[in-house]
Amino acid sequence: MDQSLKDFVAEAEDILENLDESISLLMDLDQDDHRKPDIINAVFRHAHSIKGLSGMFNLEGLTSLSHRLENLLDSIRLDKVTLSDHVVEVLGRGVQNLMRMVRAVNSGKEDVSIDLDNYLKELALLEQGEERVSDDDLSLSINIPPGITDMLSEYEEHRFRDNIRRGIPFYRVRCSFPLDSFDVQLEELGSTIREMGELITTRPETDLGGEGNIGFTLYFTTREPEGKVFEALGKKGRTLEPVPSRADAPPASDAQTDGVDFAPGLDEGAFEDEIRGVSQTVRVDIGKLDYLMNLVGELVILKSGFLNTTRRLKEMGEAIPTDLTMELEKSTSNMEKKLVDLRDGVMDIRMVPMGQLYNRLHRVSKKIAKDLGKKVNLHFVGHETELDKMIMEEMVSPLLHIVRNSLDHGIEDAQVRRSKGKSDAGNIKVSAYQQGNHVILEVEDDGKGIDLLKVKKEAVRRGHFKRDDAISDDEVLDLLFKPGFSTKEGVTEISGRGVGMDVVRKELEKVGGAVEIHSTKDRGTRVVMTLPITLAILQALLIRNGSRIFAVPMGSIQETLELTGKEIKTMQGQEVITLRDRTLPLIRLEKIFGLPDISAGESLYVVIIAMANRNMGLVTHDLIGKQDVVIKPLGDSFSKSVGLAGAAELGDQSTILVLDVAGLMMEAVRLGAMGKRTH
């Protein structure tokens, strides 16, 4: 079985376990329990999920049965079928049948030969249900605005009528939240309501938001005392009021079901099969993997201590028996090999394919394109490229923001595209590929690109440059990462690329990555993000500047050079060297961190570092050697320190700083620009 089907089996088993658990909860609910509609909805969503998942893999038997169960659950939600013990039992057997079919997939059977005839007959009887249709306007029964029924789903209207019939008090709460956090605050409000009653519907309101806000009206029911409701929900900025019923809705009759028992006879072995899991995949909380990684990190530090002790013993010469030092050295070497295997194993567990993120991004992007009324072809490349789970989750917001900018501001309307000789539909390609110890993410569109001349004019207006300054395209594009640079009167009207790009850069820097923009007017824009494959443990080159030791991640190093201070030249205020007919700018840690200067007359080393498409030389006094290091955060006190990724402990208990190559290079560019221009 290929990996995709293994993933399906693991995902399906998870969904079916949740489905089975939710159905079990239904057995214990009182008829008037306010949690009942939410749990039925949860069962409905799980059935819908397994239908969609099996449909992706063309598993017709699973898709068909889950669709039938979904139909039955929809009838239950609308009270067309009464939720009796018998119905719950039928749903439970449906889950077991689905599980047997998943087991068949797991065993590699293409034709799922499970006898479902009797069970499907029983489902057919239940699915007939009882139609309950009311033509009267809902506003005649409860004090809600006339015509609101037209905006309600069939299920929402039914929940209104059912609660009116049962005489449960209604409430309405009006509120507004900031656009950048409304989803979180709305969910918190909804959770509070669901703890005490049933949330019927949430309606957005255009006249409630105010500038920078969005408004909502929520209708809910609860049997809790009115004072308790107002205490829990009556906060500043909200309007909470009871919604009186105008008349009792006519009583609805309960649908009757045929009580014929179609339950198949099962032997003890069949019960055991139902309980036994089928997937060999274990889903692990990322927090547990973080704990394991921390343990591996501690072992790496201990290993360094052993290596240090072994080296010191060898230096003692005849004072220590040779065979003893050789045995210790051999044991330490074996431990190091096993530790590398353990480290690689734990890191491999943390790796997930980019396809997981692509699936979510594709769904959301299609919705955004539809809302914008634009025709866009979305292409995703590199589904199998793997990235650390934690880094991938950190990339959700930046990647979505860049794709949304391409959709909203990059891709032109069809008529504009035709006038430029382009196809009506725009194209956006998202690519992921591994490059050394990094993963490169690229978002490329064929839209209108960025008008660099207009960006420069805006920069001059704001005082970033003088009108006659000779600045490169890269320097102009780098302005888009400045906080607040893009405004309505500025770059947003040009292309919108700068909106929030400072936040994108910060998110990348947080995980030791970098971002660059390349654009051509009327041709399109490409955003390149460079990420480390994983965090926590990395191989680093230890360097010494004066009395201080720093760690440089090996994934960012291309080569090292030895030279004298006389070989360093100065060009437009920037120190450079010539490397294979190329001019390479240099970074001095003394200048960035305020350390004592290294004498220009001494022999120096230059570590050639690279990030994205930029190369620089890091000047250092000495190269100590390569070593695994465990990165620890520096804490809030150093959160604004530029060029530092964290700290690491060596085997002799000394602490060193780990350099953030991307941040270091950007700071060097900034300092170089400041050295060339004064404003």
Residue range 142-177, pLDDT digits in tens: 888 876 777 888 888 888 888 888 888 999 999 988
Residue of 169, 168, 177, 170 whose CA lies nearest to 235: 177
How high is the pLDDT of residue 255?
Answer: 35
CA distances for 643 relative to 16, 510, 553, 659, angstroms: 48, 11, 12, 6
How far apart, in whole angstroms, are the C-alpha atoms of residue 436 and residue 661? 15
- Average pLDDT in the 337-351 region? 83
Residue scoring higher pLDDT (59 or 498) = 59
How high is the pLDDT of residue 284?
Answer: 73
How high is the pLDDT of residue 110?
Answer: 55
Residue showing tokens 């929030």: 500
How high is the pLDDT of residue 447?
Answer: 93
Q: Look at 122-126, 172-176, 269-273, 303-307 and tell me which has the smallest mean pLDDT.
A: 269-273
When pLDDT is cut at 50, 70 and 90, the band that residue 496 belongs to is very low
How far apart, in whole angstroms, are the C-alpha atoms of residue 551 and residue 647? 9
- Average pLDDT in the 325-338 region? 83
- Average pLDDT in the 461-484 region? 78
Question: Does 277 score more than 50 pLDDT?
Answer: yes
- Share the mean pLDDT of the chain: 79
Question: Does 28 score more than 70 pLDDT?
Answer: no
- Average pLDDT in the 21-29 region? 75
Q: Look at 198-212, 474-488, 560-574 and tell me which has the smallest mean pLDDT.
A: 474-488
Note the pLDDT tens digit of each residue in 375-407.
Answer: 899 999 998 898 888 888 888 888 988 998 899
Beta strands in 411-546 (DSSP E): 426-435, 438-445, 514-520, 524-532, 537-545
Q: Rank 35-44, 401-410, 460-469, 502-511 by mean pLDDT and report only the highest.
A: 401-410
* Contacting residues for 250 by C-beta, under 8 A, at least 6 apart: 134, 165
How high is the pLDDT of residue 678?
Answer: 32
CA distances for 631 relative to 200, 507, 552, 563, 628, angstroms: 49, 18, 12, 30, 10
How high is the pLDDT of residue 598?
Answer: 60
Whole-model pTM over 0.75: no
Q: Look at 200-214, 434-448, 640-654 and tell me which has the smallest mean pLDDT.
A: 640-654
Question: Does 562 score more than 60 pLDDT?
Answer: yes
- Average pLDDT in the 570-578 region? 85
High-pLDDT (> 70) share of the chain, %:
84
Dihedral sign computed on CA atoms, order 503, 506, 511, 514? positive
Dig out the tokens for 622 from the structure.
């000495």
